[in-house]
Structure 1
Amino acid sequence: MRIGVITFPGSLDDRDAQRAVRIAGGEPVALWHGSHDLEGVDALILPGGFSYGDYLRCGAIASLSPIMTEVVDAANAGMPVLGICNGFQMLTEAGLLEGGLIRNDHGSFICRDQVLTVENASTDWTAEFEAGQQITIPLKNGEGGFIADGETLDRLEGEGRVVFRYVDVNPNGSLRDIAGISNVRGNVVGLMPHPEHAVEPGFGPDTAAAMRSGIDGLGFFTSVVKRALVEA
């Protein structure tokens, strides 16, 4: 399975996402934000970082990059798309996901290993998990507070489109502890924590078994790879 990872000016975690795809058994394809060519990929990842124009509003300018025309069309046609941190912000700005992300309620950048509950295990990116499962994923953001109006929040809850929820502590003031959501179809998922930083022993969060041994993020990437194999 060929999974495109789009690099925007300011992307920090594009190489990490490519590595995660490779570890999961997929073929990473590096894509540039200024191109209109998706190069025949089967899925897309919008990685984390601090894309150009974030000083105006996170993800707003990047969501207007040339390649985003193709991303929107592909997502609407059913292609799996994952937006991580800044990528999540781009997906909301592009209208592929509802709500928005604002400055953390405590006003500071935060970096921590964050426990999440998997609320929806039926999306293209969460099929390897179980509903109610708790996973630990690194989190690092300054503008990670998820917001939406009450009607939208109720609709996301009612339609089962809250995919992840923060556990124990709400690190950024996100409404209803929401850490990630999906579109109606379940092929587009966005979240603030970084699963690509928890895919390889020795580099992930600490666990009861050993320091830096957590690989809970790997399930995101194996989910989409295995689903593609089943549908092939």
Structure 2
Amino acid sequence: MTVAIVRFGGSNCDRDALRALDDVGVDAEIVWHEDGLPEDVTGVMLPGGFSYGDYLRAGAMAARSPIMNDVRDAAADGVPVLGVCNGAQVGCESGLTDGAFTTNESARFQCEHVHLRVENADTPWTAGYEAGDVISLPIAHGEGRYEVDDDRLTQLETNDRVLFRYCDEDGEPSVDANPNGSKHNVAGVLGERDTTAVLMPHPERAALADVGGTDGRPLLEGFARAVDAE
């Protein structure tokens, strides 16, 4: 299996992703965006960072890289695609998922651990959790506020395409538990297929017991299983 971790100018979490995926048994490689996806690709990860310095909007320029045409085609074919932080912004900007990520309500860069409630455990990404589980993952973003129009949000919620919500340690979504002002506390969503997902927190930074905890590890192990199924 080969997972392509797409590196854009300004990506800075690609090596973190490579290390974490390797630790759960995924054969991954970093791919420069100008080189396109490998022919044998069985999974794609869009990592965090500040692609093109977040000019225009976070993720907007990277979303227009030719490789994203390949990523969209792969996603449409059911190849697992995961966008994290800046990768989530790129994913939304390129139409892999509904909505957009914009400037935090605080207008400040937020770097902290947050609690998330698992909303849908019946997906490749969350099969290692139970619905309602509360996990802790780190965030590091200035444009993490998820926005989507009310009708589409209703559709996302009705179709169980919300993966995670920001919550307190007891699992209750609230204004105080929402670090960026995301609509309905949404922290991660699915695309049209459940093999495509984007989320703002960093599971790859919570995959090793000695570095950030292991609450993100089940998500990456789900990625490994989904890739292996390809």
* TM, length-normalised to structure 1: 0.92
Q: Counterpart amino acid of 1:38?
A: P
Q: Does 1:114 align with 2:122?
A: no
SS in 1 for 2:51: coil
Match of 2:208 in 1: 200
Is the 1:122–1:186 contact (alpha carbons within 8 Å) kept by the matching residues of 2?
no
Which of the residues 171, 182, 187 maps onto 1:174?
182
Q: Counterpart amino acid of 1:51?
A: S
How far apart are 1:228 and its partner, in Å? 4.1
Q: 2:93 & 2:121 partners in 1: Cα distance?
A: 25
How far apart are 1:166 and its partner, in Å? 0.1
Let me know the Cα RMSD of the aligned residues.
1.2
Q: For structure 1, which segment, 170-179 or 58-67, has the greater mean C-alpha deviation from structure 2 after superposition?
A: 58-67
How far apart are 1:185 and its partner, in Å? 1.7
SS in 2 for 1:222: helix
Match of 1:209 in 2: none
SS in 1 for 2:31: strand
Q: Does 1:132 align with 2:139?
A: no
Match of 2:172 in 1: none
Is the 1:145–1:173 contact (alpha carbons within 8 Å) kept by the matching residues of 2?
yes
Q: 1:183 & 1:77 partners in 2: Cα distance?
A: 12
Is the 2:54–2:60 contact (alpha carbons within 8 Å) kept by the matching residues of 1?
yes
Aligned structure 1 segments of 4 or more residues deviating by more than 3 angstroms: none
Cα deviation 1:6-57 (Å, max 9, x = unaligned)? 1110001000001111011111111111122324121110000000151211
Gaps of 5+ in 2: 169-176
Match of 2:174 in 1: none
Q: 1:77 & 1:7 partners in 2: Cα distance?
A: 22
Quote the sequence identity (%).
Answer: 45
- Number of aligned pairs? 222
Match of 1:191 in 2: 199
Q: 2:42 & 2:105 partners in 1: Cα distance?
A: 37
Q: For structure 1, which segment, 121-130 or 135-144, has the greater mean C-alpha deviation from structure 2 after superposition?
A: 121-130
SS in 2 for 1:52: helix
Matches within 5 A, 1:214-229: 214-229=213-228
How far apart are 1:125 and its partner, in Å? 1.7
Match of 2:22 in 1: 22
Gaps of 5+ in 1: 205-213
Is the 2:43–2:227 contact (alpha carbons within 8 Å) kept by the matching residues of 1?
no
Match of 2:94 in 1: 94
